[in-house]
């Protein structure tokens, strides 16, 4: 297990939390603080007066596997998307020149993941990003919940393998731990009173996954876009086999950016007189004007809570969005790394989350 965990400037705090979780596993009990596993700040980024940069490796990585955490989205250092990408590309090059045995990039949220459609006269940002990383020497790419399944086919497995981990298991576990807690509540309260709603027709698969996991009804929102404007919805049609009046609704999506989609959807759902409207997402981008939009709905009593993972940096937004509940992902990231460095199976991480089995295992709540 000769490996190093490090990070670009955008993910150093997150990487440190992952290391902290990793050292809790029995396989790493013998590892002392300050070892190569904990060498998060192996990298140094120098900036020049003309705007160029250079990444320097400050200790030997020869013959070691390097797990590099990175983010090109909003980050703690307030580095722009484009600067974060250039720093990442420089880092891969530096690691390759430092003769790392294997370079594993862990990018929990891929900021260009929505740029995945091929058209005759437009670039495909995700393709450019992944091909650049693989071309520079990345051999394994790990992320959470890519925007579409087809994105995983953009990398040649002979050059670089990709693990798109279903991060929504984190959110389902959080719902169980925080709001359900036992099987009786699941059967008597959740199944008759909850419903899971997609943001649009394309998100039906994701919402159905939640509905099936909890045995609750599915609601599908079909939105009509105004393609002459960016992030603009003309109308939303709600499709449901059951009346929504008095139900607790969970809007499910992989991300919220400006909040345009949920803005129209919440208004449409409110007309059906539900008891609560909640949002549960994996990646909390919250670009402006999303914070103001969400807070407005909260003040109007239309939005109860927002549940999101911490794959995108947003501690500052917890003060701006009062009903935001953040689900930590560092422990899951640590499990992924543990399985990789110990050559253990990854199949459990891809299995469908069994709610009833999970609740039955919660001795803390059952006792």
Give domain limits for the chain. 3-166+331-348, 168-328
Choice between 41 and 95, residue whose per-residue pLDDT is larger: 95
Pairing type for strands 65-69 and 3-7 reads: parallel
Q: Domain 168-328 has what CATH class?
A: alpha beta
Q: Would strands 324-327 and 305-309 be described as parallel, antiparallel, or unpaired?
A: parallel
The reply to whether 3-166+331-348 and 168-328 are identical in fold is yes
**Does 3-166+331-348 carry CATH code 3.90.1150.10?**
no
The span from the CA of 106 to the CA of 333, in Å, is 9
pLDDT in tens, 131-159: 999 999 999 999 999 888 888 889 999 99
Q: Do residues 242 and 270 lie in contact, with contact meaning Cβ atoms separated by under 8 Å?
A: no
Q: What pLDDT is recorded for position 365?
A: 44
Q: How many CB atoms lie within 10 A of CB 27?
A: 13
pTM: 0.92
What separation in angstroms does the CA of 329 have from each of 14, 117, 245, 259?
9, 28, 34, 23
pLDDT at 225: 60
Tell me, what's the pLDDT at 366? 42
And the tokens for 33?
């603080």
**Over residues 342-346, mean pLDDT:** 93
Instruction: Give me the pLDDT at residue 363, please.
Output: 53
């Amino acid at each position: 297990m000769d490996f190093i965990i490090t990070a670009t400037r955008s993910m150093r705090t997150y990487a440190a939390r992952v290391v902290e979780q990793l050292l809790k596993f029995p396989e790493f009990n013998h590892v002392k603080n300050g070892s190569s596993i904990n060498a998060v700040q192996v990298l140094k980024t120098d900036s020049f007066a003309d705007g160029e940069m250079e990444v320097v490796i400050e200790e030997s990585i020869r013959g070691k596997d390097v797990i590099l955490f990175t983010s090109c989205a909003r980050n703690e250092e307030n580095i722009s998307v484009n600067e974060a990408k250039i720093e990442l590309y420089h880092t891969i090059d530096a690691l390759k020149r430092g003769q790392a045995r294997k370079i594993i990039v862990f990018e929990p949220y891929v900021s260009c993941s929505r740029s995945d459609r091929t058209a005759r006269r437009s670039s495909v940002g995700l393709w450019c990003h992944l091909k650049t990383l693989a071309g520079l020497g990345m051999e394994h790419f790990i992320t959470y919940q890519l925007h579409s399944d087809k994105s995983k086919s953009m990398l040649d497995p002979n050059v670089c393998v990709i693990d798109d981990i279903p991060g929504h298991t984190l959110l389902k576990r959080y719902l169980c731990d925080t709001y359900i807690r036992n099987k009786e509540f699941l059967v008597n309260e959740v199944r008759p009173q909850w419903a899971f709603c997609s943001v649009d027709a394309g998100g039906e698969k994701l919402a159905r996954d939640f509905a099936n996991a909890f045995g609750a009804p599915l609601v599908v929102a079909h939105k009509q876009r105004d393609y002459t404007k960016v992030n603009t919805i003309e109308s939303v049609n709600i499709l449901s086999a059951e009346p929504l009046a008095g139900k607790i609704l969970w809007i499910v999506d992989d991300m919220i950016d400006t909040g345009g989609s949920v803005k129209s959807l919440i208004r449409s759902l409110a007309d059906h007189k539900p008891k609560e409207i909640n949002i549960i997402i994996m990646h909390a981008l919250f670009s402006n004007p999303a914070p103001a939009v969400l807070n407005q709905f909260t003040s109007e009593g239309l939005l109860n809570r927002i549940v999101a993972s911490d794959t995108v940096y947003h501690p500052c937004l917890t003060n701006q969005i009062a009903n935001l509940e953040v689900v930590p992902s560092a422990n899951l990231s640590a499990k992924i790394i543990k399985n990789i460095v110990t050559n253990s199976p990854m199949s459990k991480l891809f299995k469908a989350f069994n709610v009833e089995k999970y609740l039955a295992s919660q001795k803390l709540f059952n006792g």
